[in-house]
Chain A
Amino acid sequence: MSIFAVLKLSVAASVLFCLVVLTVMVMRTFAFGRRPTYAHARGSSFAGIVYAFGLGMLPWEKESAAKHIGTYIGGILYHIGILMAMLFLATVLLRISLPTTLLQAARILLTVGVVSGVALLIKRILQPRMRFLSGGDDYVANILVDVLLLSALATTFAETMLIPFAAVAIITFIYIPFGKIRHCVFFFYTRVLFGTFFGKRGVVPHPSKKA
């Protein structure tokens, strides 16, 4: 078996592991049970969920984003970079060759992603309140993903970097369920709950913005 095949299988196994553990975690969460609700709705839970993933994420709606616009934009770029790294990993392992334009775009997004990730890490280290809040997982997760993006970027220039890139990806996938990166799943879970709660009460979408 070639090294490439071993890498491919290992990455696939780590992805599978990650998905299985995350699925188990979500199922365990569901297993805590669902309480029936009795209060009559004033607004729409569905509209609340739409808001939670749409308008409710925008800085002019969400004060925490508006007040920290740098962090907000950095966070978005970081996540776009991560998505790019995942897609790039898939294309490399599936031997899909990217046109030059797409490769250039990937490089830009990965570079911006790395810079954003490192900036967020620096912020976490330098700001006393962020240091106070942070545990080991906060640093490990950030550094791991930064290295993943960096190695993805390096691989866009030199295929020889594939082995470290894949290795970091494997470690990342295995780490995901055990640390904060599990929010890749739980983000959607809690935002749905957010929309349901505030939507039902008629708080969001704001009355003046309802159809």
Chain B
Amino acid sequence: MVSDKDRKDPYLERIRHLKPDQLESALASFKQLLDHKMAAGLQSCVNCGLCADSCHYYLVTKEFEAIPAYKLKLVTSVFKKLLTALGGLAKKPDGDSAFDSQMVERWVDSLYGRCTLCGRCALNCTMGINITRLIRTARTALASIDLVPPGLQSTVTTAVEKGNNMGIPRQEWLDTLQWLSEELQLEVGDPEAHLPVDKTGTKLLYTVNPREPKFFPLSLLATAKIFYAAKESWTVSSDYYDVTNYGLYSGDDGAAGLISSRLRESMIKLRAKTLVLGECGHGYNSNRWEAPEWMAAEDRFEVKSIIQIIADYIREGRIKLDPSRNQKVVTLHDPCNLVRLGGIIEEQRFILKNAVTNFVEMYPNREKNYCCGGGGGQLAMTRYATRRLDAGKIKADQILTTGAKIVVTPCHNCIDQLSELNREYKLGVEVKTISEVVADALVIEKKEK
């Protein structure tokens, strides 16, 4: 399991030199988070093994360490004493229940390195165990002793320190918005069209994945064009606009809560009515479902995905689409955090059926879809890049089978992974966001002079 390269890895060295009090601290952190739901999950696995084929890592690699039941067992074995009727006398399932450096190494390798927290195993578990939740809680225990893999940790740290995960300076963000406003004016032929910043009292506060202003500004422009066409009352914040939250993946609830609370700060400051989450799967899961739990507070405003907003525009006739402008075969990748863990399932299909002429589903789809392999913080953990690309073969095969020329997905993380898979497996497809496809089909009514 350990190569010569690994032996010199400072991260692994840290694990190997963990002190007993650090290990105790991690265990205490896990125990503190245990509630009856997790406790039930920890003592319910029957080792039926049926979860194995639900995991894209196992399906591709056939490595037993990727089987969700094994990952769960790594956790349960440590806490067996706490839960079984026999307590400390209970037989240890894999012969080693001590939480020592070796066990931590196994936790890191399987729970960070072979899992995208996609939730597919949880959906397919015979017993209904929320394996994903338990793995994430184990990550929280590791995060409590600073053992988040470096790439993932630095993404979280950047978001906490700089306000967005790419460390984009405020002025750069404002310059990009200004430039995009000029582009929008040219595109729609309206000199008054713009991307509003810090406008108070709007209906929507829009949040974006920082990779949009940084690398894919046209994606943000596409959304702005849709808002323009819908005559929407919207704004972005100059300070906190980052929809992503890698705290979900690192397991650091403190950082995750802080990052999500900033979007709430912007909502309050700008007095917007609805927090709109840009096309980001884990951003949706984090901000719609997990943030209220991290912050132990209900949201006093609506939190919606941009996908829901666009679908509403179409239903209400606020935007007109000409699907003939998108004639290539289009398929849809369902981001796990938006669909299986988020519940946004049909809206994106409704949009695509209105925006393109030839939409084909990949199989399986919707909540049963395979993870692309980019979730769980994998894109930030370069140490597992080879595994990530290998595990993506399932997705690559799914795409190839459709014969599609365009893969649409409402998630920028997925777009990164799909773009890499496109190169790796020579898929020959374009990868686009929903907004980009909708913007291409938009029929803009010229402003009356």
Contacts and interface: CB of A to CB of B under 8 A. Distances in A.
A169 interface: no
A190 B343 CA distance: 20
B103 to A, nearest CB: 16
Nearest to B123: A198
Contact of A133 (B70, B292, B341, B368): B70
Contact of A64 (B39, B47, B90, B124): B124
A63 B367 contact: no
A187 interface: yes
B299 A40 contact: yes
Given A62-B124, A135-B47, A29 B39 contact: yes
A99 interface: no
Nearest to B127: A190
A32 B295 CA distance: 20
Which of the listed residues B37, B90, B297 has the most CB atoms from chain A within 10 Å of its own CB?
B37
Contact of A43 (B129, B130, B343): B343
Contacts of A21: 85
A46 interface: no
B342 A178 contact: no
A187 B45 CA distance: 9
A75 B48 contact: yes
Which of the listed residues B39, B133, B295 has the most CB atoms from chain A within 10 Å of its own CB?
B39
Contacts of B298: 38-40
Interface residues of B, number: 66
Contacts of A54: none
Contact of A137 (B48, B83, B91): B91
Given A129-B67, A133-B69, A32 B35 contact: yes
Contacts of A93: none
A120 to B, nearest CB: 9
B231 to A, nearest CB: 27
Interface string B344-367: 011000000000000000001011
21 contacts: A30-B36, A31-B36, A35-B35, A35-B293, A42-B343, A62-B124, A71-B48, A129-B49, A134-B47, A135-B94, A137-B91, A178-B84, A182-B85, A183-B44, A189-B40, A189-B44, A193-B37, A195-B128, A197-B122, A206-B366, A207-B345
Given A39-B291, A135-B47, 6 more contacts: A28-B39, A32-B36, A39-B288, A67-B50, A71-B50, A208-B346
Interface of B: 34-41, 43-54, 64, 67, 69-70, 73, 83-86, 90-94, 122-130, 133, 288-293, 295-299, 339-343, 345-346, 364, 366-368
